[in-house]
């Protein structure tokens, strides 16, 4: 059982002052094995904070990130799953699932995590899963109106991944979950 936190688009300090207090109290060090971050943190303090939660931190570059050294895309293998990470502003049209599927094929990953739209999505198709953890601070987005703060926690266990989405609605944290099972890797 490997816990992976998918989080991003915090836009601190330009669009949001800080993570919601309820999220902060839930995210404690030592419980999560990996953090994958879609980008747009934007400042070093946020990077350090995430690093303190878990040393295995993977970040891709968002268009507002202060640190320009983050890569445009990243692939990570966790257990039986290959995960792909990309902020998403590079994939036009923004938020379009078919275009994201193309990126997924290109990176050859089972799970693609991307952001930019600030809207939570978890979408399954034959080749795999596309996840958007939304914005953890419900930062302003020109694309999506009225977002709630959200992040995603994936529990990877063998060939199965359970995706938990945590959303802050009206001051309460609501959790939803989606199950995905991977078919064994097809031959090339």
**Site of interaction with other proteins (CB under 8 A):** 12-18, 21, 43-45, 63-64, 89-90, 92-94, 96, 98-99, 101-102, 104-106, 108, 126-127, 140, 142-143, 145, 186, 188
Q: How far is the CB of 140 from other proteins (least distance, A)?
A: 5
List all residues 6 or more positions away from 75 whose beta carbon is below 8 Å from its beta carbon: 82, 83, 84, 85, 107, 108, 109
CB 15 within 8 A of CB 135: no
Q: Which is nearer to other proteins, 108 or 176 (CB)?
A: 108
- Residue 26's φ and ψ, nearest 5 degrees, are -80, -35
- Torsion angle of the four alpha carbons 151, 85, 34, 143, in this order, in degrees rounded to the nearest 10: -10
CB 130 within 8 A of CB 102: no
Q: How far is the CB of 75 from other proteins (least distance, A)?
A: 9
Q: Which is nearer to other proteins, 5 or 42 (CB)?
A: 42
Tokens, residue 29? 């060090």
52-to-29, 109, 114 alpha-carbon distances in Å:
7, 27, 22
Q: How far is the CB of 176 from other proteins (least distance, A)?
A: 26
Q: How far is the CB of 124 from other proteins (least distance, A)?
A: 13
Q: Which is nearer to other proteins, 105 or 181 (CB)?
A: 105
Q: How far is the CB of 177 from other proteins (least distance, A)?
A: 26
Q: Which is nearer to other proteins, 25 or 56 (CB)?
A: 25
Work out the number of other CB atoms within 10 angstroms of the CB of residue 32. 16
Q: How far is the CB of 33 from other proteins (least distance, A)?
A: 26
Q: Which is nearer to other proteins, 108 or 157 (CB)?
A: 108
Residue position matching structure tokens 């936190």 = 5
Q: Which is nearer to other proteins, 141 or 150 (CB)?
A: 141
């Amino acid at each position: 059982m490997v816990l992976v936190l998918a989080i991003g688009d915090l836009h601190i300090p330009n669009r949001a002052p800080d993570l919601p207090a309820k999220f902060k109290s839930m995210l404690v060090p030592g419980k999560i094995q990996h953090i994958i971050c879609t980008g747009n943190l934007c400042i070093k303090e946020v990077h350090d904070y995430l690093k303190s939660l878990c040393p295995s931190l993977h970040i891709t570059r968002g268009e507002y990130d202060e640190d320009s050294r983050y890569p445009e895309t990243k692939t990570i293998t966790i257990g039986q799953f290959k995960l792909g990470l990309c902020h998403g502003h590079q994939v036009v049209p923004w938020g379009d699932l078919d275009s994201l599927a193309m990126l997924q094929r290109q990176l050859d990953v089972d799970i693609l995590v991307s952001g930019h739209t600030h809207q939570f999505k978890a979408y399954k198709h034959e080749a795999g899963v596309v996840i958007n953890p939304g914005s953890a601070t419900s930062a302003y987005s020109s694309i999506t109106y009225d977002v709630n703060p959200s992040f995603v926690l994936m529990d990877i266990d063998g060939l199965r991944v359970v995706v938990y989405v945590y959303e802050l609605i009206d001051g309460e944290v609501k959790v939803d979950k989606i199950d995905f099972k991977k078919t064994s890797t097809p031959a090339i």
